[in-house]
Amino acid sequence: MSFPIERPRRLRSSPALRRLVAETNLSADHLVQPLFVIEKSNFVQPIPSLADQFYYSPDRLVEKVEALARQGIPAVILFGISDRKDAVGSQAWADDGVIQRAVRAVKAGCPQMLVMTDLCLCEYTDHGHCGIIKNGCVDNDETLKLLAQAAVSQAAAGADIIAPSDMMDGRVAAVRQGLDDASFELTPILSYAAKYASAFYEPFRGAAGSTPAFDDRRGYQMNPANRLEALREVRLDLEEGADMVMVKPALPCLDVIYAVKQTFGRVTAAFQVSGEYAMLESAAANGLLDLKRAVCETLIAIRRAGADFIISYWAEQALPWMGEFAS
Ligand code: PBG
Ligand code: ZN
């Protein structure tokens, strides 16, 4: 059967018909808003490297989270940015650390919002690496102990979901063990399982002051050339007890998202990262494209590839844009 019997255009003739036959959807349920918290009080300021994104002090974070909750966004992921950085990143597990204070404030002020915490040392180390340094290298196994400790500290502050992003081998098992030993056996782990060494994290590092002082992250983050290796990383993390897995970045990795979802059928998240945000924001600021349509197109493409939910800096902004785009 082919033309003139088959005419795919018949199902494209009106907004209602296009909505009726759409294969993929995107709603508030699928979006997670990243937020940056800093060690100040009564403070909200724009982030220079991320247009229209802000630093919040823990006390001012709550009003932002309440606004997101009113839009129906189910979760936020918090990044704590410490100005007390040291060689081992000890603020990552400090009881009065910035992330711990932020989590407590949000859970007290807006308990229905799910709080995910990014678990890594790079926002807390003075050298900017995601682990501690021994003989000039990031020491995998020593780092695991600190990550477990930081995870417990985040859970104790009230974090609903722990999201390790460091890419050390064995970290999901270490974090799971740490959480279980501290009676947080019901706290889920969202593992940044397939996290590539990407040029698209640069605006985030500007915002977090986490650019490595020497070398780069290619010794622990993945080579963008590899997809089978992503499946291996995901398999290992699931075996170690990850409850959900993430692919990062998103748009450069649609094939990876697809393969992960097809292969494992587990809850699969995608992180539309800071460089993806900057790329379209700058193009739009230069009058080169329609930001709203471009953003919605990328979000639906990431869903189409197989992501169950998307961490996106546009989460809040894009929701009102989706209705028009979807029809
Ligand atoms: C911490 C972390 C990074 C991002 C999320 N968690 C930075 C990095 O790995 O260098 C990137 C997020 C973004 O670019 O939006 N390891
Ligand atoms: Zn890191």
| Mean local confidence (pLDDT), 39-44 | 96
Q: Is the pTM of this model over 0.75?
A: yes
Task: Select from 81, 123, 165, 190 the residue to mutate for testing ligand 1; criterion: most ligand atoms less than 8 Å from CB.
Answer: 165
- Tens-digit pLDDT profile for residues 252-271: 999 999 999 999 999 999 99
Sorted by sequence, the CB contacts under 8 Å of residue 315 that are 6+ apart come out as: 31, 32, 33, 34, 68, 73
- Domains along the sequence of the chain with CATH: 23-326 (3.20.20.70)
**Whose alpha carbon is nearest atom 5 of ligand 1?**
165
pLDDT for 326 beyond 90:
no
Ion ligand 2 — residues with CB < 5 Å: 120, 122, 130
* Residue 324, pLDDT score: 85
Q: Which residues are catalytic?
A: 195, 248
